[in-house]
Amino acid sequence: GENVEQHPSTLSVQEGDSAVIKCTYSDSASNYFPWYKQELGKRPQLIIDIRSNVGEKKDQRIAVTLNKTAKHFSLHITETQPEDSAVYFCAATRPDNDMRFGAGTRLTVKP
């Protein structure tokens, strides 16, 4: 089955700086890679996703890159703000398979 690894486990940045979180996956057939933001006690919220036919996707301050050959994908947050502080999870799946999550990254943005 799919195995997703995520790094770092914690990340602290100064407001305005960029944050990068990296994930690797094991199943070369996985073709959908979402990123979720989870605040304490709440459900995960999809913030951006990418499919295997695309190498990069951007939505305002958030971008995701995918390297299929190396089987890794990354989340980039630019101009970080205190409200970006949360736990971020990456995941990998195929449409008919279950979704496996990375271990999570606790991002703290210091004002």
Partner 1 sequence: GAVVSQHPSWVICKSGTSVKIECRSLDFQATTMFWYRQFPKQSLMLMATSNEGSKATYEQGVEKDKFLINHASLTLSTLTVTSAHPEDSSFYICSARARPSTGELFFGEGSRLTVL
- Asked if 4 contacts 100 with a C-beta cutoff of 8 angstroms, the reply is yes
Q: How far is the CB of 31 from partner 1 (least distance, A)?
A: 7
Nearest approach, Cβ of residue 79 and partner 1 (Å): 27
When asked if residue 11 is in the footprint of partner 1 (CB under 8 A), the reply is no
Q: Rounded distance, CA 111 to CA 53, Å?
A: 37
Alpha helix (H) residue ranges in the chain: none
Which residues inside 13-72 make contact with partner 1, applying CB under 8 A?
31-32, 34, 41-44, 46, 49, 51
User: Shortest Cβ distance from residue 50 to partner 1 (Å)?
Assistant: 11
87 to 106, contacts with partner 1 by CB under 8 A?
A: 89, 93-96, 98-104, 106
Question: 3-state DSSP call for residue 79?
Answer: coil
Smaller CB separation from partner 1, 35 or 80: 35
Q: Who contacts 23 (Cβ-Cβ below 8 Å, separation ≥6)?
A: 4, 5, 6, 7, 33, 72, 73, 74, 75, 90, 92, 102
Residues that bind partner 1 (CB under 8 A): 31-32, 34, 41-44, 46, 49, 51, 89, 93-96, 98-104, 106
